[in-house]
Structure 1
Amino acid sequence: MSALLDQELQVSPRETLWIADENSKALLQQGFTFAGDLLSNRWDIAKLAEDKAGRSFFSDFHFEELGRKYRRIVYTVSKEKALVHHIVNRAAEFLGEGGELVLVGGKQGGIKTYAAKAAQRFGCAKQLQKHGAEYSSTNALQDRGGEKIDDLNYTQLRRLEELGGLYSKPGLFGWNKIDRGSALLAEQFATLLPNDGAHVVDLGCGYGYLSAQLAIRGNYYFTATDNNAAALQACERNFRERGLEGVVVPSDAGAELENRIADLLVCNPPFHQGFQVEGDLTDRFLKQSARLLKTAGYALFVVNEFIPLVRKGRDYFSGVQLLAKDQGFCVYRLDL
């Protein structure tokens, strides 16, 4: 994938916009430089690209902030369908005359279907080329007014009863449901609560479910952080609506936060990086958690039962205690 993406990015780079989601990180880590603009909804990727791209932008794909149009837009298709549809729709608006959208991806990622939909949106013939196990689809803009693809109103935050009235939107993992693991972790708050006024770090906050559940039970100051722009947007709205005291900030697994700030840290760490399972994600969250906790503080983690958290956790914590196990999830308490 990186070789094909690299090849596409080298065609008129100064006239190219690279839509870089989580699947693009590997290329940036290889000492790669890109003379064009990069737009990402991932904080780590946008920061990594600051000295590697001509301009780097972090947002929930707000194309208006770029201030220009492009001859080429290159995009490795994402895992979430609504997000891909949003990018294709907006690309038709932000390409100049004669511009083209290049989609890159594997068969398992739905590239063939997206190629057909992009052709429909752009008013051009479907085009698909195979490059080993990967594909590219170059879509020339022939009709800017082509029928838009359904993107579930991607840009709109919405209040969802199935989330207990919290706001969410497409673009963040599990955006329209309460994660079973997070719900299991939240059940532990009935017996494991810090003192009123405690500083709580919600690491990988998503739309803010765990913070909202804690706030029902006490008065705390929250630092909620996530790598995903859509998650931060939703969490900020929920903090305002629920009157939670604290801040919502972008961060890569908490790396940008100050040392020893948390009396309690709550975390439901991801274990997927795009279409791939990334084995060191849990380790990164554990390492940062140990750095962020005050000496007398503790962390509550929930993970899939196949994650060896006891073994991993002992590299950073003196105490790792299983609190609950249900429906394939395990909740642990970790003490320094």
Structure 2
Amino acid sequence: MSTTPPLTTGPETTTLTPTGVKPIFEVDDLQVEFRTNAGVAKAVNHVGFSVAPGECLAIVGESGSGKTATLLAALRLLPTPPSRTTGGRVLVDGVDLFSLSRKELRDVLGRDISMVFQDSLSAFNPILTVGRQISEGVRRHRGLSKKQARALSIEMLERVGVPDPQQRVDQYPHQLSGGMRQRAMIAMALAGEPKVLIADEPTTALDVTVQAQILELVRSFQDLSIVWVSHDLGVVAGLADRVAVMYAGSIIEQGPVREIFHDPRHPYTRALLGSVPRLRDPDRNDLVSIPGLPPSLVDLPPGCPFYARCDVREDRCLSRMPELVDVAPRHQAACFVAADEARTHA
């Protein structure tokens, strides 16, 4: 399978974001596999992307497309075995996480980069209070005393909108509602003042009111670089600056959010957007579905993984995986047909 190159401008030794800014977070040619009873599942295949300071990148795709696996592997949080990272590098402000010892990695995680997990209940330690868990990180990364860390924990809970933070700081995770627990996890992730925040579908299990409040909270941190993992395209449209679309462990399209939503070039992206209900469109009452199923990651086809479900497929798509190529300014797609159309209209 061909390698997806990082976004570069100028000399190959200088990696830049599409806007020409040095990235604060960069994933380059990441490859991850899992040993299963059915065989080796290639969950992440030559994935590369970058995030500029203050930018929000959304990663979207169907369940099982490799979104969470990519980011857990990038932070070295996947259990080994069954997972194995077979290639790539991950840079946070120029530091390669894969070159660090476990002790050095612990110093970076929470200080330079933090993650908000999808399931807040299982992410918290059930036998420690919420305040204790927030305090542990800030004491380690910011050198605060126990009293100072507790005061900061209360301040962070208040900042993220948790009611009665002086009381909640001494409660256990199961005593908080789902929305408050999610806010507390965001408070814990932000307490160390990281440069990059990874949010893995943090609003999936919440009602729409709480979801809107959390999105507004995330938008308020304007200087923070964010990687937002989601399958909710409506949320992505209102939050992200750029979008990367994943399918079968690969990024098949990426570009500015407006470009992706208004002029998608990859057939999968078009199908994904077409499957979203549009209640404000009186002429569209049908719910479009994508035919077929994603390929097995244990037995990926040699060509384009979307071939069997694609409505513009050609014979050449069977032989090799298309590379990500420019189809518009700052907009890339891994599709032979899209590449041909871009050259025709250039």
Where is the strand percentage greater, Structure 1 or Structure 2?
Answer: 1
TM tier relative to shorter chain: under 0.3
In the superposition, the TM-score normalised over structure 2's length comes to 0.27
